[in-house]
Chain A
Amino acid sequence: MSERIDVSIEHKHAPQEDGGRPHPNTCPDCGSHYRDDELAEHLNVCPQCGHHFPVHARERIRQLFDEDSFAEDASELRSDDPLSFFDLRPYTERLAEAELSTGLGEAMLIGRAAIEGQPCQAAVMEFGFMGGSMGRVVGEKFARACEGAAERGVPLVSVTASGGARMQEGILSLMQLPKTVCAVEDLHDAGGTLISVMAHPTTAGVLASFASLGDVIVAEPGALLSFTGPRVVQQTTREKLPEDFGLAESNFRYGHVDQIVPRPELRATVARLLRLFANGR
Chain B
Amino acid sequence: MAGEAELRLRNQLSRLRSLPLLRGAKLSGELQRLQRQLDRIVAEPSDEEIWRSVELARHPERPYTLDYVDRLLEDWFELHGDRQHGDDAALVAGLGRFRGRSVVLIGNQKGRDVKERTRRNFGMAYPEGYGKAMRAMELADRHGFPVITLVDIPGAYPGVTAEQHGQGGAIARSQALMARLGVPTVTCVIGEGGSGGAIATALADRVLMQENAIYTVISPEGCAAILWRDAGEARKAAAAFKPDAAHCLELGVIDAVVPEPEGGAHLDHERAAELLGDALVESLEQLESHSGEDLRRHRRVRFRTMGQVTASR
Point out residues on A near B: beta carbons under 8 Å. Answer: 76-80, 82-83, 85-88, 95, 136-137, 140, 143, 165, 167-175, 177-179, 181-186, 203-205, 207-213, 225-228, 232-233, 236-237, 239, 241-242, 245-246, 250-251, 254-256
Contacts and interface: CB of A to CB of B under 8 A. Distances in A.
Given A171-B251, A227-B171, A183 B304 contact: yes
B160 A165 contact: no
A106 B40 CA distance: 35
A78 B312 contact: yes
Nearest to A209: B172
A246 B242 CA distance: 31
A83 B304 contact: no
B159 A233 contact: yes
Contacts, number: 190
A238 to B, nearest CB: 11
Contact of B175 (A82, A178, A251): A178
Nearest to A177: B199
A275 to B, nearest CB: 26
A-B pairs, 9 with minimum CB distance: A207-B168, A228-B158, A212-B172, A170-B241, A227-B168, A87-B227, A208-B171, A227-B167, A172-B307
A206 to B, nearest CB: 8
Interface residues of B, number: 57
Nearest to A237: B159
Given A174-B195, A237-B158, A245-B160, A80 B227 contact: no
A167 B227 contact: yes
A170 B243 contact: yes
A233 B203 contact: no
A189 to B, nearest CB: 9
B94 to A, nearest CB: 24
A243 to B, nearest CB: 12
B180 interface: yes
Contacts of B216: 170-171, 174
Given A227-B163, A237-B159, A256 B300 contact: no
Nearest to A79: B309
A80 B313 contact: yes
Contacts of A178: 175, 179, 199, 202-203, 303, 306
B307 A82 contact: yes
A232 B158 contact: yes
Contacts of B215: 171, 174
Given A80-B309, A87-B228, A228-B158, A171 B180 contact: no
A208 B166 contact: no
Contacts of B164: 250, 254
Contacts of A170: 216-217, 240-243, 251
Interface in B256-313: 299-300, 303-304, 306-313
B93 interface: no
Contacts of A186: 300, 304
Contacts of B303: 175, 178-179, 181-182
A207 B169 contact: yes
Given A136-B308, A185-B180, A175 B166 contact: no
B312 A212 contact: no
Q: Which of A143, A178, A232 has the most CB of B within 10 A?
A: A178
Nearest to A207: B168
A181 B179 contact: yes
Q: Which of A76, A137, A167 has the most CB of B within 10 A?
A: A167
Nearest to A166: B217
A181 B175 CA distance: 7
Contacts of B63: none
B7 interface: no
- Residue from the set B158, B180, B226 with the largest chain A CB neighbour count within 10 Å: B158
A184 B196 CA distance: 17
Nearest to B156: A227
B118 to A, nearest CB: 13
B142 interface: no
Nearest to A85: B240
B117 to A, nearest CB: 15
Contacts of B299: 182
B217 A143 contact: no
A246 B218 contact: no
Contact of B308 (A95, A140, A181, A255): A140
Contact of B173 (A78, A82, A213, A233): A213
A171 B175 contact: no
Interface in B190-215: 195-196, 198-200, 202-203, 215
A82 B169 CA distance: 29
Given A88-B227, A167-B226, A171-B243, A136 B179 contact: no
Contacts of B300: 182, 185-186
A81 to B, nearest CB: 9
A83 B171 CA distance: 26
Give the residue among B159, B165, B240, B299 with the most A Cβ atoms within 10 A. Answer: B240
Nearest to A137: B309
